[in-house]
Amino acid sequence: MSPESKVDDSRHVRLFWEGVSLCRRNQFPAVFAHENRQKRRRSPDSKNRLSLPRHPCNLGMMLLRRFLVLAALMYWQGGFTFYAAIVVPVGTEVLGSKVEQGRITRQVARTINLTGVVALAVFALDIAVTRPGQGLRWGRWLAWFVMAVTLGVLFVLHGHLDAMFIPDELKITDRPAFRFWHRTYLWVITVQWGCAVLFALLTLAA
């Protein structure tokens, strides 16, 4: 067989398969479109394009929101953790009395709770404008809701405890009741701290 005939045969084969492909397009347009979509999804370039923000401003706003969330979380719950783990034991040792340390704690607790109001507002804004998966979004809202409820309970308990404490005289009017409500306060704030950790993990995954 001459080289010219081989070239003609290969050309005929190519034209044949091009005709078959054209017939498939005309007869089964939906199937062909589905195959093209699957190819685009499998291509690495399309994945990179989908994962990147559509505009640099979107990336900048997302980084700003996440920075504010991180800063608020560190200031609120990080401040509480440092105060409870370091300041309270050291203050009690230096002052020589838990009641004396309580004069400081009652002021700090009020400030921490007020900080929580600002932090929760920042968290809610970030959740509202972020569009992660439905599971992550509802998980973040659930953690936020529990933190908000526990914060309201802490405000009520703090006022109740403060009413039983006389700072000028370093006196507690009803010690058994104060001890019970103080333990309740600690349990509630522990639940809040756990939800804050969960919220941080879900935010990193969102």
pLDDT tens, position by position, 15-52: 555 654 555 555 545 544 555 565 555 555 444 444 44
Same domain for 97 and 159, yes or no, is yes
Q: What Å distances lie between residue 201 and 10, 37, 172, 206, CA to CA?
A: 60, 34, 40, 9
Q: What is the DSSP letter of 87?
A: I
**Mean pLDDT, all residues of the chain:** 79
State how many domains the chain has.
Answer: 2
Hey, what are 167's tokens?
A: 């700072």
Contacts 24+ apart (CB under 8 A), 199-204: 199/73, 199/123, 199/140, 199/143, 199/144, 199/147, 200/73, 202/136, 202/139, 202/140, 202/143, 203/66, 203/69, 203/126, 203/140
Where in the sequence is the domain holding 191, given as residue range(s)?
55-205
Same domain for 22 and 105, yes or no, is no
By mean pLDDT, which of 38-47, 68-77, 139-148 is the weakest? 38-47
Same domain for 41 and 86, yes or no, is no
Same domain for 164 and 101, yes or no, is yes
Query: Is the distance from CB of 43 to CB of 72 less than 8 angstroms?
Result: no
